Amino acid sequence: MEPGFTHDVLIIGGGAAGLMCAATAARRGRSVLVIEHANRVGKKILMSGGGRCNFTNTGTTPANYLSANPHFCRSALARYTPRDFIDLVERHRIAYHEKELGQLFCDDSSKQIVAMLLAECADAGARIATSCGVERVAACEGGGYTLYTAQGAFTAPSLVVATGGLSIPSMGASGFGYALARQFGHEVLATRAGLVPLTLSGKPQQQLADLAGVALPVRAQCGKTAFENAMLVTHRGISGPAILQISSYWQPGQPLLLDLLPGQDALEVLQAQQAARPAAELKTVLSDLLPRRFAQRLCEHWLPNKPMKQFNAPQLRQAAELLRAWPLVASGTEGYRTAEVTLGGVDTREVSQASFESKRAPGLHFIGEVLDVTGWLGGYNFQWAWASGHAAGEVV
Ligand code: FDA
């Protein structure tokens, strides 16, 4: 340890990125202290993936992340891959399975992932202080940082900020990392909730609210981006994987287009039904293609309900167009209370993509979700936490 310092590395935040960074740095013989203000580490890991932690995605590429600087994540993702994390999981004999689309989940519990990270930290000699709030951070004269905390003052030449985003404040989320970044001259790009249910208001909300619980496959499109997966109607609006994914691309006021028969040509489907069942009403036909109550509601408010033989060619085309691109205007999102991630954050243009060190304050590093790098739903956000934590852990 360098003289005059209590540690080599101080890490604020004992979440996914912070614990990975701690274990990696401690394995290199660095003296590491993780400072976590919550009463236990890894709370978001524990609640993730419905309690089974979707810990990575085997198909991870930089294209699965949103950032004002889309190339920033490339280097770290290439240096610590999903395979590297899977190897760690396998070394700890944690059973896992692929759910869909490359998403890997624990068979049993996300507790195993937290236990694994804690075992890695303990084995490498990294120390963890929980229930330890940071009151103030100051740069030391001649380099390094002092952290004034509820458990005393600590100093180190390297300080890693791994405080995560703003989602789920009840789990320990705070804006501390952003304030710290600003303190040292960094720009913080506007933050907003991502991977979050969308809310409806007025007429569409009234028309759909009592269908809460109904789910169907859709292709949700916003601008040039689209995701095909399930949509769930909720009491306040819409959710489900397709909606959570598109929410990260949605801006207030932007229309959302929902293809209700994804992968099928709606006009061909309706023409075939018209030929096969001319006397059947549209709602009966659609009830065989969509959840029955949803089909009926569409025919009450958005589509004319009459026997198929009464649709002339332009009317059939119009109905098909509505099924292909059902426009829904969301009024907002459910916000950080339920969002999985925070979009925006510390501007990556002022951070080294190799070492995650600040270009403004030597020895200061930012990793994980506090940075302006946000993954899709499906294990990508943890993979970013592991990869960025590992990259910083290799150099601090
Ligand atoms: P993370 O939030 O994990 O850790 C930050 C830590 O810093 C916390 O422990 C916090 O208490 C601490 N902290 C904050 N301020 C502090 C301060 N001032 N002083 C000290 N400590 C402070 N992703 C995924 O890939 N697969 C999944 O299955 C899920 N599931 C999921 C479910 C839910 C409900 C949520 C909310 C999120 C997910 N995610 C996810 C997203 C994933 O949890 C998230 O992207 C990572 O945990 C980010 O890792 P970080 O280490 O950057 O932050």
SS3 245: helix
Q: Note whether residue 359 is domain-resident.
A: yes
Q: Is 227 inside any structural domain?
A: yes
Classify residue 246: in a domain, yes or no: yes
Is residue 4 in a domain? no
Same domain for 37 and 135? yes
24 lines ligand 1 (CB under 6 A): no
Amino acid identity for residue 323 in this structure:
L
Task: Determine contact, residues 196/250, Cβ cutoff 8 Å.
Answer: no
User: Do 238 and 178 share a domain, yes or no?
Assistant: no
120 lines ligand 1 (CB under 6 A): no
d(CA 343, CA 345): 7
What is the atom index within ligand 1 of the atom nearest the CA of 105? 28
345 lines ligand 1 (CB under 6 A): no
Atom 4 in ligand 1: which residue has the minimum CA distance?
Answer: 15
Q: Residue 202 belongs to a domain with what CATH number?
A: 2.40.30.10
Q: Report the percentage of the chain scoring pLDDT > 90.
A: 96
Question: Burial level of 130, CB count in 10 A (0-12/13-18/19+)?
Answer: middle
Last residue of a domain, one of 291, 313, 333: 333
Q: How many domains does the chain have?
A: 2
Three-class SS state of 296: helix
Same domain, 166 and 261: no
Ligand 1 centroid to 124 CA: how many Å? 22
Residues 112 and 210 in one domain: no
The residue nearest atom 19 of ligand 1, judged by CA position, is: 37
96: containing domain: 9-193+340-393
**C-alpha–C-alpha distance, residues 122 and 162, integer Å:** 19
| Residue 347 confidence (pLDDT) above 80 | yes
Give the domain CATH number at 118: 3.50.50.60
Domain boundary among 333, 350, 365: 333
Q: Are residues 233 and 360 in the same domain?
A: no
Calculate how far, in angstroms, residue 357's C-alpha sits from the geometric centre of ligand 1. 20
- State whether the beta carbon of 46 lies less than 6 angstroms from ligand 1: no
In a domain, 358, yes or no: yes
How many CB atoms neighbour CB 65 within 10 A? 21
Where does residue 51 fall: left (phi above 0), alpha (psi -120 to 50 degrees), or beta otherwise? left
pLDDT band at residue 169 using 50, 70 and 90 as cut-offs = confident
Mean pLDDT value across the chain: 97
Co-location of 170 and 319 in the same domain: no
Q: Is residue 389 part of a domain?
A: yes
**Strand ranges for 58-149 from DSSP E:** 65-66, 96-98, 103-106, 127-129, 134-139, 145-149
pLDDT tens-digit readout, 263-319: 999 999 999 999 999 999 999 999 999 999 999 999 999 999 999 999 999 999 999
Interval 170-218: pLDDT, tens: 887 889 999 999 999 999 999 999 999 999 999 999 999 899 999 999 9
Task: Specify whether 294 is located in the same domain as 204.
Answer: yes
The C-alpha atoms of residue 381 and residue 96 are separated, in whole angstroms, by: 18
Inform me whether the pLDDT recorded for 247 exceeds 80.
Answer: yes
**Cα 263 from chain centroid?**
26
Q: How many helices (H) and strands (E) does the chain have?
A: 13, 22
Tell whether ligand 1 has an atom less than 6 A from the beta carbon of residue 363: no
CA distance 259 to 231: 11
Indicate whether residue 56 lines ligand 1 (CB < 6 A): no
Distance 56 CA to ligand 1 centre (A): 14
pLDDT in tens, 223-240: 999 999 999 999 999 999
Distance 214 CA to ligand 1 centre (A): 30
Q: How far is the CA of 48 from the centre of ligand 1 (A)?
A: 9
If you average pLDDT over residues 381-396, what whole number do you get? 98
Q: Using CA atoms, how far apart are residues 80 and 60, in angstroms rounded to an integer?
A: 11
Q: Is residue 321 part of a domain?
A: yes
Is pLDDT of 332 > 90?
Answer: yes
Tell me if 17 CB under 6 Å of ligand 1.
yes
Q: Are 177 and 50 in contact (CB under 8 A)?
A: no
**Among residues 383, 372, 364, 366, which one has the least CA distance to residue 144?**
364
Query: Is 3 inside any structural domain?
Result: no
Q: Which residues of 105-122 are buried (b: 16+ CB within 10 A; e: fewer)?
A: bbeeebebbbebbbebbe
Same-domain check for residues 177 and 260:
no
Same domain as 257, residue 175? no
Same domain, 159 and 204: no
116 lines ligand 1 (CB under 6 A): no
Mean pLDDT on 355-364: 98
As a whole number of angstroms, the distance between CA 233 and CA 211 comes to: 6
Distance 15 CA to ligand 1 centre (A): 5
Residue 11, pLDDT above cutoff 90 = yes
Q: What is the mean pLDDT of residues 318-343?
A: 97
Inform me whether the pLDDT recorded for 117 exceeds 90: yes
This prediction has a pTM of 0.97
Q: Are residues 46 and 163 in the same domain?
A: yes
Q: How far is 387 from 382, CA to CA, in rounded Å?
A: 8
Considering the domain architecture, whether residues 178 and 240 belong to the same structural domain is answered as no
**Nearest atom in ligand 1 to 380's CA:** 25
